[in-house]
Chains A and B, each alone.
Chain A
Amino acid sequence: MTPQPFGARLEGVTLRYRRDDAPALDNLDLTIRPGVITGLLGRNGAGKSTLAALLAGWRRPIAGRVLVGPAGALEDPFENTWTATGTQLVRESGDHWEGTAARDTLAFHAEVRPSWDADLAEHLVGLFGLDVGTHPERLSRGQRSALGIVVGLASRAPLTILDESYLGLDAAHRYAFYDVLLADYAEHPRTIVLSSHLIGEVERLFEDVVILDRGRVLLAESADDVRGRGVTLTGPAADVARVAGDRPVLARQQLGSTTQVTLDGALSADEHAAARAAGLDVGGVSVQDLFVHLTGGAGAAPATEEER
């Protein structure tokens, strides 16, 4: 049967965990396109995990609508066998079957998931050196992450949501995971939502980017559009400052006499030519720099390059 990736639409969605709490999601409108890898970004408490739980039908909003399914056939995912079978959410916590061997968790998924790929699961278990004879609660954080990844990828769900589920992996295994994810995605197209704080590492995978902030959508657009929102200039500090002028600076790095600045907004043709003439390298903005800028960074709003 031909895969039909799931998309999702949220309309005016609000969710509070307690009556007096600030909303985890606040009148949120968002569309997740089917068949693409979407980066779901936000600072701690931005609402990423809540959004993931709503998409998986694990919770209900107190207001608004959540719809999930193939293009043109979106449905409420709460207590919906159709969408539940096609959605796989893996959280950092793992949600494994504790008190019994990790292989029992995999066996349970294999029993329930119609698209479970046992060969892929076995390959991933070997790739990550996962000891499936050990109870999940006795596994290291990295091994628990690996178990979550095996579940997330081998389920081949039309909507796969990985919510910080690979943060426990060491760098080598994370890059192995990115490679496997891309290869499997290319072979079996589906919708993948990746939530991560390791933006610099994973942004190359994103086709769409969603940035949440305090329960609201700050940005939702294609990764190409995001990268076109700004420009990065690299070269001698004086030349960079001259070309940057009074444009808002999203990020700045300096190594000796070489400076790299990320500027908000695209360059005009004349500015671009001037930058090239000055011998500066011109590139797009990184998702991470834009994310830091949009979500307020670690401190005050960035100044212009001239002010620096």
Chain B
Amino acid sequence: MTTTTPDRTATARATFVAAAERRATSAVTWNLVGATWWIGAWFWAIYVAVLALQAAVPLLGGDTELRSAAGSFTAPWIFLFVMGIVLLAQMSRLHLVAGGTRRTLVHGEWRAAAIIAVTFGAAGWLLLALVDLVVRALGHDVRPVDGILVTSGSGTWLALLAHVLASGVLFTTGVLVGHVYRRLGGWRGTLALPLTLLPAAVALAAFEVAGGDGPLVLGAPAWLVVLIGGAIGWLLAAWGTWLVVRDAPVE
């Protein structure tokens, strides 16, 4: 095997660099997605058991009107927030040691967040929809407690949108928090939490507004509030990550 080193022509170099960046970005993306789902398998196993128990106990007790399983709908979001912190703490230095750059690291994180958002969000939404379906099929009523999931009209699809966006925002916010702790250390990282948690707060506040009974912001439909709030939160977290990482030294 020969060592692949850059050719001196500009074209060859550009091709080499583009391929290297694709490879590095892809490594971050798929390792993050893989690790999240690998560890996530444990989470899902526990989560499914909890949901089943949550639905079964009242049914066995003879309740005819049930709280929706959606009562624990934020659990996957919290899981992703923690995974964002943990996985990036492990992977960021390794990536630079392996010849990646801060740019490819952040791009990989962004792509991983998108894939995780869609897959985790859809899985979480599907699971909750399934539980409600089973409860209804058994002849019981579902009394939802989470406005965001049952907003009249486009409730089902709104819930899907919220799950996907929340998964992306929470994971990216976790990544941001993890990078800030790595860069600033324990004390300053903790002091920065009000700022680093802001993206998640923005998104969750938007979801709360969209799911509430009161008038929506500027009369906008719920889905638009969820979309805009989620997108702003996500962009804030992604932008913050880049600001923190772009010139971070490797300790």
Contact = CB atoms under 8 A, between A and B. Distances in A.
A114 interface: yes
A85 interface: yes
A5 B5 CA distance: 8
Contact-residue size bin, chain A (C-beta under 8 Å from the other chain):
35 or more
Interface in B192-236: none
B19 A109 contact: no
A18 to B, nearest CB: 12
B123 to A, nearest CB: 23
Given A108-B27, A111-B26, A156 B1 contact: yes
B250 interface: yes
Interface stretch (B89-97, B129-137, B138-146): B89-97
Interface in B91-148: 91, 93-104
Contacts of B23: 111-112, 114
A84 B2 contact: no
B97 A95 contact: yes
Given A98-B90, A112-B23, A188 B3 contact: yes
Nearest to A119: B1
B4 interface: yes
Contacts of B99: 84-88, 112-113, 155, 157
Nearest to B20: A85
Contacts of B5: 1-5, 70, 86, 115, 158
Nearest to B103: A79
A253 interface: no
Contacts of A109: 98
A84 B101 contact: yes
Interface in A291-305: none
A89 B250 CA distance: 12
Contacts of A108: 27, 31, 94-95, 98
A81 B96 CA distance: 10
Interface string A72-112: 01000001111011111110000111111000010011011
Contacts of B94: 95-97, 105, 108
B63 interface: no
A60 interface: yes
B13 interface: yes
Nearest to B91: A97
A79 B104 CA distance: 10
Interface centre among A56, A99, A188 (most CB of B within 10 A): A99
Interface string A142-153: 000000000100
A229 interface: no
Interface string B7-46: 1100001001101110110110001000100000000000
A58 interface: yes
Given A53-B250, A73-B8, 10 more contacts: A5-B5, A53-B249, A58-B96, A79-B102, A82-B6, A86-B99, A87-B99, A88-B97, A95-B93, A119-B1
Closest 9 CB pairs of A and B: A58-B250, A3-B3, A111-B27, A112-B98, A4-B5, A114-B4, A95-B97, A59-B249, A156-B3
